[in-house]
Amino acid sequence: MQRFTVPALLGILLLSLVSLSYYEMIDLYIQSVIMFIGINIILSASLNIVNGYMGEFACGHAAFMAIGAYVTSVLNILLFTKDKFFGPALLPPEMALYFFPLTLLAGALVAALAGSLVAIPSFKTRGDYLAIITIAANFIVTSTIINVDAIGGARGFMGMKKIIYAMEDVVELPWMLIWVILSTFFTVWLIRRYVSSTYGKGIIAIHQDEVAAEIMSVNTNQMKLVAFMVSSGLAGLAGGLFAHILGYINPGSFGILKSTECLVMVYLGGMGSLSGSVLSAILFTLLLEGLRFVIPQINTLMHWMHLLPDTYQVSQVWKWVIIPLILVLVMQFRPEGIMGNKELSDIFPRLKKFYKFK
């Protein structure tokens, strides 16, 4: 029975969240926070393959997210809605329910192909040159999107909400929540399976010593290519979900800042620790959303204590000062991140009965 504990728990979690949203016990804001937690888990766990397990330094994760977001959105708009540019719907809108996972998958696949393009230069280069290639790729992707007028250019691209409404017309359920949670489960499952397999051990071997791994018959080029493709494909999946939650995307939201957020989550959780990635994504999102409410409180407190002149208000900009400060302090006291290189089972060995972490 112990084998089924974790899947059962996850199923109960999914059902309870969906039913709570369905009976409107949790409002839309909390739902969206849950969805962003899911997306951030996907982003941080997928970047952890390249940056944590493989020990490379890729900092252009948002590029693949952008590719996934745009491909999924354009496909859905093309297939199911009437659009000025893309013409009338090719399929009846009721079909959106069945085709949505397929379009998500298509976005992920295109992002994975883009990831393979970025991975090819990384065969020859070492270390920091990969950082450059990925940063440049990020800039290239965003400026390409800006220059393509068909998908809105710098103005952005919208109309994804119609797809959600079309899905909800068929069956009245919080569909986006369901898809995000399922994708998150799928991502964590896939990465754990991949990294703990015999094949995936090659990634960790590359991290330890690339030359030795090559001598011990690990096909390093193939390993790098596959790791990059899995990582960027999952980022594309996250992008597709992100686009449909917001209903509006623009190239500015997939800039270097988004990539930096992904990097922060990976290194805050710890390199090469899947549970660390999940935990840090949850923490990071809650911190971001929590500060929204804390900052006005701080503002009133400071004014009440007469620490500030009346003309100066503590604005929401301070959020992006406080979060980096917290992170810098965390790095000072725990330079290896929250979990370091460990999984939850290393800290709580009893968990091994229910779930194999490695």
Partner 1 sequence: MFDSIIQNIFNGLQWGSFYSLIALGYTLVYGVLTLINFAHGDIFMVGAYIAFFVATFFLKAASGLPGWVVLTLTLPLTMILTACVGVTLERIAYRPLRRKGANRLYVVITALMCGLILENGNLALLGASRKSFPELVDKVIYTTGAVSMTNLKIAVILSAILVFCLLQFIVTRTKIGMAMRAISYDKFAVPLMGIPIDTIIVFTFILGSSMAGLAGLLYSMSYPILDPYMGALIGWKAFIAAVVGGIGDIRGAFFGGFLLGFVEILVVAFFPSTFRDLIAFSILLLILVYKPTGLFGIAKTTKI
Residue among 285, 275, 263, 286 nearest 40 (CA): 285
Count of residues interacting with partner 1 (CB under 8 A):
45
How many Å apart are CA 269 and CA 327, to the nearest integer?
11
What sign does the CA torsion over 142, 144, 150, 153 have? positive
Is residue 225 involved in binding partner 1 (CB under 8 A)? Answer: no
Q: How far is the CB of 281 from partner 1 (least distance, A)?
A: 15
Q: How far is the CB of 294 from partner 1 (least distance, A)?
A: 15
User: Residue 32 or residue 116: which is nearer to partner 1 going by CB?
Assistant: 116
Candidate residues 208, 317, 349, 350; the one interacting with partner 1 per rule CB under 8 A: 317
Per the structure block, which two tokens stand in for 168? 């909800």
Q: How far, rounded to the nearest angstrom, does the alpha carbon of residue 243 sit from its chain's CA centroid?
A: 12
Among positions 254-313, residues that touch partner 1 (CB under 8 A) are: 256, 260, 263-264, 267, 271
Residue among 30, 332, 351, 49 nearest 188 (CA): 49
- 39 and 238 Cβ atoms separated by less than 8 Å: yes
How many Å apart are CA 66 and CA 84, to the nearest integer?
22
Is residue 41 involved in binding partner 1 (CB under 8 A)? Answer: no
Candidate residues 286, 324, 353, 356; the one interacting with partner 1 per rule CB under 8 A: 324
Is residue 337 involved in binding partner 1 (CB under 8 A)? Answer: yes
Candidate residues 17, 67, 137, 167; the one interacting with partner 1 per rule CB under 8 A: 137
- 36 and 204 Cβ atoms separated by less than 8 Å: no
Candidate residues 14, 131, 225, 288; the one interacting with partner 1 per rule CB under 8 A: 131
According to DSSP, the residues that pair with 87 across neighbouring strands are: 83
User: Residue 54 or residue 176: which is nearer to partner 1 going by CB?
Assistant: 54
Is residue 99 involved in binding partner 1 (CB under 8 A)? Answer: no
State phi, psi for 87 to the nearest 5 degrees.
80, -170
Binding mask 145-184 for partner 1 (x = CB under 8 A): -xx------x------------------------------
User: Residue 58 or residue 223: which is nearer to partner 1 going by CB?
Assistant: 58
Is residue 220 involved in binding partner 1 (CB under 8 A)? Answer: no
Is residue 216 involved in binding partner 1 (CB under 8 A)? Answer: no
Per the structure block, which two tokens stand in for 226? 């596959």
Binding mask 51-70 for partner 1 (x = CB under 8 A): x-----x-------------
User: Residue 240 or residue 269: which is nearer to partner 1 going by CB?
Assistant: 269
Q: Which window, 86-94, 177-185, 278-286, 331-339, contacts partner 1 (CB under 8 A)?
A: 331-339
User: Residue 56 or residue 343: which is nearer to partner 1 going by CB?
Assistant: 56
Candidate residues 87, 88, 335, 349; the one interacting with partner 1 per rule CB under 8 A: 335
| Interacting residues toward partner 1 by CB under 8 A | 51, 57, 121, 124-126, 128-129, 131-133, 135-137, 139-140, 143-144, 146-147, 154, 211-212, 215, 256, 260, 263-264, 267, 271, 314-315, 317-318, 320-321, 324-325, 327-328, 331-332, 335-337
